[in-house]
Amino acid sequence: MTKKITVYKIVFISMLIFALFGALYLGAYDFKDSYLNIIQHYLNTKQHTTDSYVLIELRLPRILMALFTGAGLAICGTSLQGLFKNPLASPDLIGITSGAVLFAAITIVLGAHVMEWLPPFFKYALLSIMSFVGALLTMIFVYRMATTNGKTHILILLLSGVAITALTGAVTGFLTFISTEEELRNLTFWSLGSLAGANWWKTFIVMFFVTAGSLLLLKKGKSLNTLMLGEKEAAHLGFNIQKTKKHIILIVAFVVGTTVAFNGTIGFIGLVIPYILRFIFKSNYKVLLPLSMLLGAVVLLIADTISRTLVSPAELPIGILTATMGAPVFISILINYKRKL
């Protein structure tokens, strides 16, 4: 098993290296000099040429954003599937994404009425801040609904997520109905997901939350393996089940809320990646969690590279690509699940 894990690690790392080179070289803009010369010139002069601006201010932060967003969504999906013991579980399931989408829609459609009263920084970051607040408030509401006397009921948590998704969908639909043509275009583009708005400060925020959350989730591998035996058995073995549930749900909410706030909704990464890895490694979460981060980063980076080169100089929303890649896998999950009934 150890040899198998090592082989797949080498394969995924090789895929990551090729994806990185592809992301650097492919794009609407063709660099006139080598990357080393471009960076060296910028470090010496502290002034941007067109080459250095595209490379340092646009392409590099976007590549890092894709890597960390893919890694964060994948490990969150893997953790939720282990927590719920359900291969169909994903961050969308408990309403986190829906809450972020609702607050983003409110900001896009109604935000112009308060923009003039806000400081310059908040004007620039209002959409991201409101999306994060929406994800956080949704998580708090769903978690409180599902918790009684300190015990979290998974079924109520899932049903609360479904209810929140339906409610936020209705409100978002109404906001779409009353929006102007420009607001509708912005809302549609954001809801389909895009990494086009990546810059260094956004990337650093996502990197911080994803790194911190992932390190905490990686420590839950043993607990998730024990939960596969059942909650009573895990409790007999000395694990604090309620504490584990609370920690995983909170961490997932913060990580997913942050990524959705800056990049819009990017579906299927948190669903498909764990499913692919489970075919290879079964349900060993000490292996699944780190490898899901690696494969999630690779897949989203490849998807983003395709999205900005396929219809160049225009850009295809990345949510369309991830849905196209993920939908067939999702259908195969349902077919396999049906066969087991």
Q: Is residue 151 helix, strand or coil?
A: strand
Residue type, 25: Y
- Range name among 112-121, 160-169, 204-213 with the lowest pLDDT average: 112-121
The pLDDT tens digits for 282-338 are 778 888 999 999 999 999 999 999 988 887 777 888 888 888 887 787 787 777 767
Q: What is the pLDDT of residues 135-157, one digit of tens each?
A: 888 878 887 887 777 676 777 87
The DSSP line for 92-141 is: GGGTHHHHHHHHHHHHHHHGGGTGGGS-HHHHHHHHHHHHHHHHHHHHHH
Q: CA 341 to CA 339: how far, in whole Å?
A: 6
Architecture of domain 2-340: Orthogonal Bundle (1.10)
Pairing of strands 151-152, 147-148: antiparallel
Q: How far apart are CA 179 and CA 195, in angstroms?
A: 24
pLDDT-derived band of residue 341, with 50, 70 and 90 as boundaries?
low
Lowest mean pLDDT among 20-24, 199-203, 219-223, 235-239: 235-239
Q: Looking at the whole model, is its pTM more than 0.85?
A: yes
Residue 150 pLDDT = 65
* Cβ-proximal residues to 231 (8 Å cutoff; 6+ apart), any chain: 241
Spatial separation of the C-alpha atoms in residues 29 and 32, rounded to whole Å: 9
Q: Which residues contact 219 (CB under 8 A, 6 or more apart)?
A: none
* pLDDT band (50, 70, 90) for residue 124: low
Burial class from Cβ neighbours inside 10 Å (0-12, 13-18, 19+) for residue 99 reads: buried
d(CA 94, CA 218): 21
What are the CA-CA distances from residue 302 to residues 18, 91, 192, 250, 290 (Å)? 10, 21, 17, 29, 19
The rounded distance, in Å, linking the Cα atoms of 166 and 189 is 21
What pLDDT is stored for residue 85 in this prediction? Answer: 78
Distances (CA, A) of 276 to 255, 270, 329: 22, 11, 9
- pLDDT at residue 66 above 90? yes
Please name the residues in contact with 148: beta carbons below 8 A apart, sequence gap of 6 or more.
none
